[in-house]
């Protein structure tokens, strides 16, 4: 396995599977996520600001947990995370439903390059007014 840069501390480490953090950060991350899970179980729909203030988790980590589908956005989605292909606001994961299959196909062929904004400017479209944006624990992958 090749050297992989830890997303938390940016040290390089030997990757065993598909982990994003090094063995030093792994227990820290587990503990952090356990706290988030606990907090969101008690306060579903908490905002990212709340999580940052109460748990001390970074915005970057929250965004990563969302992309990993460990957390999910509910309510008014202002594009906290977006589809990596078309830029559409997502609740969790890396691709929207429409791009998911295409993305999988492109990845399988190994021709998907870095993020390219070919579909025009995202974020200008009308957002329906729903309730306040918040985050819930996704549960699916645990």
Residues 24 and 19: their CA atoms lie apart, in Å, by: 12
Residue 128 CA to residue 73 CA, distance in Å, equals 15
What sign for the dihedral angle of Cα 78, 84, 87, 92? negative
Q: Which two tokens stand for residue 36?
A: 């988030």
Q: Does 96 help bind Zn ion (rule: CB under 5 A)?
A: yes
Q: Point out which span in 2-10, 54-62, 67-75, 125-133 binds Zn ion (CB under 5 A).
A: 2-10
Angle, CA of 65, 66 and 71, to the nearest 5°: 85
Is 83 a binding residue for Zn ion by CB under 5 A? The answer is yes
From the list 4-12, 38-46, 69-77, 124-132, the region that binds Zn ion by CB under 5 A is: 4-12
Site for Zn ion in 98-117 (CB under 5 A): 99
Verify binding: residue 40, Zn ion, rule CB under 5 A: no
- 23 or 139: whose CB is closer to Zn ion? 23
Which one of 52, 86, 106, 112 is in contact with Zn ion (CB under 5 A)? Answer: 86
């Amino acid at each position: 396995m090749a050297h992989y840069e830890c997303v938390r501390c940016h040290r390089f480490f030997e990757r065993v599977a598909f982990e994003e953090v090094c063995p030093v950060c792994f227990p820290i991350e587990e503990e952090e996520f356990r706290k988030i899970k606990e907090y969101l179980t008690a306060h579903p729909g908490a905002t990212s600001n709340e999580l940052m203030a109460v748990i001390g988790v970074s915005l970057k980590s929250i965004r990563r947990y969302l992309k990993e589908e460990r957390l999910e956005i509910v309510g008014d989605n202002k594009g906290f995370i977006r589809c990596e292909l078309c830029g559409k606001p997502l609740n969790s994961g890396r691709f929207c439903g429409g791009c998911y299959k295409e993305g999988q196909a492109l990845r399988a062929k190994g021709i998907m390059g870095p993020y390219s904004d070919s579909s025009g400017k995202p974020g200008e479209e009308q957002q329906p007014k729903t309730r306040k944006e918040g985050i819930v624990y996704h549960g699916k992958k645990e």
